Amino acid sequence: MRNSFYLSPVALLIRFLILALVVYLLFFRKRRKPRHRAFNPEGEKPHSKNPYDILGVQKGSSQEDIKKAYRKALSSYHPDKVEHLGEDIQALAKERTKEIMDAYKSLAR
């Protein structure tokens, strides 16, 4: 009769591998700096000054579509979302947010 706490060698190996993976992920894996998807690495402006291009809508779009695109663009470039990424990115975020707001004002009727 086996002990109630007996584990087969396969079960022990599986538990050891899981433990080793957890230790590796917690302590030995190199951590990458987070990059915000809204900015390209060169810091260049990705859009032209055309309000339709800035908001990513086509000419003749409804006010509802323009408003949705404005909210989506503003949420991805908002300075509060990138405050942990440094002053350079914050400055770009503020500039881009201003462009988005100006584009929306020019398209809002």
pLDDT tens digits for range 2-52: 666 778 889 899 999 999 998 888 887 766 655 555 555 455 455 457 888
Burial (CB < 10 A; 0-12, 13-18, 19+), residue 18, is exposed
Instruction: Give the CB-side neighbour count of residue 65, counting CA atoms within 13 A.
Output: 8
- The kind and range of the H/E element at 77 are helix 63-77
The amino acid sitting at 15 is R
Torsion of Cα atoms, 99 then 104 then 107 then 109, to 10°:
-150
Residues 46, 49, 55, 59: what is their CA dihedral angle, to the nearest 10 degrees?
A: -130
pLDDT tens-digit series, residues 68-108: 999 988 888 887 887 787 788 888 888 888 998 998 998 88
